Amino acid sequence: MERSSLLTVVLVWAFLWISAIHADSKDDEKLLCTCENGKGTCMNGTCKGHICFYSWVHGHEERGCFSEVIYKEQCYSKFERLFMHCCRENLCNAFTTPPSNIKPTPTPPELNRPELWITLSLLLLITTASMCGLVLFLRFRRAHGRNDVHGDHDVTILKVPDGDDPTYGDIFDEFCTSGSGTGLPYLVQRTMARQISLVQCVGKGRYGEVWRGTWMGESVAVKIFSSRDEQSWFRETEIYNTVQLRHDNILGFIASDMTSKNSSTQLWLVTHFHELGSLYDFLQYSSLEPESCLRMCLSVACGLVHLHTEIVSSQEKPAIAHRDLKSRNILVKRNGQCCIADLGLAVIHSQSHDYLDVGNNPRVGTKRYMAPEVLDETIRMDVFESYKQTDIWALGLVFWEISRRTIVNGIVEEYCPPFFDMVPLDPSFEEMKKVVCVDQQKPSLHNRLHSHPILSAIAKIMKECWYQSPPARLTALRVRKTLSKLDHDSDFSIEKLKRDI
């Protein structure tokens, strides 16, 4: 036992000594680099590291520095639509536009002999010290385990906290964020697939699979697209990197990456993980009180308002229409609110810059949630308002799904999708067109909804979302304001009732 302890101390001391020598030699070589991230290692527009870098991705520039350890990983990864330049002179990345003679190096250089020797020595020392530590730990457990067999144990059962939604703030603080989008910097994103451990498949669909993974001690959602759906992956990546898109009721984006598995390319979209799943899944096994129904509907409306709104400022955000809003594309958070996901079909519009970007994804939306003008093909494809109006039609259907699972007078209906009693489980385009356009049918509303003030108001909003004429429908902002007032009045009534009691 004493011999093992002595060996461990010697190995740890040797490891620290070599690390200190290696660190000192590296610190002497640190460069002054231009840095534009504004957080983390950036101080007054500069940072110190072993490598200066300049990157260009989709028109977004980034400058900064990093250590020798990740030199090869960051400077020599080859990705389409990425320009990367690394250099080893003070402020060598300070140029406004890249000089014409700068080209990214195609292949990484070999480590020279001293660096290779030090790396192998450190690896050997760490492995040996770890093995010795493991032996000591097992011996300690065996020696003390017998004494605790009959002792009292304080067993704590871990529960998912109510009302606390993970913000992933600690993870983002580890990196220099550029401020240009909602996720991590491109340099970090390009290595995400190698840092995440996939734990459990939590969903499958036509796009591919969704997995729960772990990254830096936190659960994350990994949406793995099939290769045939590359356009959706590219579109979602593009939209999630939109400036000022981050919002409590929009699914939080972390990163997007490509990786290779079994000789095939996988397309990953990494987002916040919400263990309650989609609104569709949640409503299968959960019923709601009217106040919970109201807050859930309000949160969806808030998310849609943020998407639909163009922000004109120093960091402009274009208006975005979802085009595939449904309960399967809405996730439920721990605090009972919802967030909107799946932006693969979204349309982007900027009135200030006069452009409409419909994308070139051949995939269409979900037939059950399509508005009449989409089904009869009378929608104005060149007018952005048309796409927002189709979102409102779908929003009314989502509210209908939530209200069915809301208890009023002790009555609640089982979950059913919209138009469940009029079309089959997987309706065709023509079947939906007949019901919605020709017969002009609307989902039926149970009489119990009209006996409660909250559900009665939500039912009225649904009807005004389902007008056959698109311009007659409510706007997302109008829906949010009406629900916000209803929520305020409800809180006031509850507080008054408590005071009276």
Higher pLDDT, 479 or 167: 479
Residue (of 337, 339, 277) closest to 304 by Cα position: 339
Percent of the chain with pLDDT strictly greater than 90: 44
3-state secondary structure of 216: coil
Q: Where are the beta strands (DSSP E) in 10-134?
A: 31-34, 46-49, 51-57, 60-66, 82-87
DSSP string, 323-370: S--SGGGEEE-TTS-EEE---TT-EEEETTTTEEE---------GGG-
The pLDDT of residue 40: 46
Contact (CB, 8 A) for 32 and 25: no
What's the pTM value of the predicted model, to 2 decimals? 0.67
Distance from C-alpha of 234 to C-alpha of 256, rounded to nearest angstrom:
9
Q: Identify the residue whose tokens are 């090869």.
A: 72
Catalytic residue among 27, 170, 229, 324: 324
Q: Where residue 91 falls among pLDDT bands split at 50, 70, 90?
A: confident
What residue ranges define each of the domains in the chain, with the CATH number in brackets? 28-99 (2.10.60.10), 171-272 (3.30.200.20), 279-500 (1.10.510.10)
**pLDDT per residue over 345-365, tens digit each?**
999 999 888 899 998 776 778
**pLDDT per residue over 111-162, tens digit each?**
444 555 566 677 777 777 777 677 666 665 554 443 443 333 332 222 233 4
Q: Identify the residue whose tokens are 């004109």.
A: 312
Higher pLDDT, 214 or 104: 214
Q: Where residue 45 falls among pLDDT bands split at 50, 70, 90?
A: confident
The pLDDT of residue 71: 61
Q: Where residue 242 falls among pLDDT bands split at 50, 70, 90?
A: confident
**pLDDT per residue over 424-440, tens digit each?**
999 999 999 999 999 99
The pLDDT of residue 107: 46
- Residue 257 designated active-site: no
Distance from C-alpha of 256 to C-alpha of 189, rounded to nearest angstrom:
6
Comparing 245-249, 451-455, 464-468, which segment has the lowest mean pLDDT? 245-249
Residue 80 in tokens: 């389409």
Contact (CB, 8 A) for 463 and 479: no
Contact (CB, 8 A) for 455 and 408: yes
Q: Identify the residue whose tokens are 């060996």.
A: 7
Distance from C-alpha of 232 to C-alpha of 29, rounded to nearest angstrom:
44
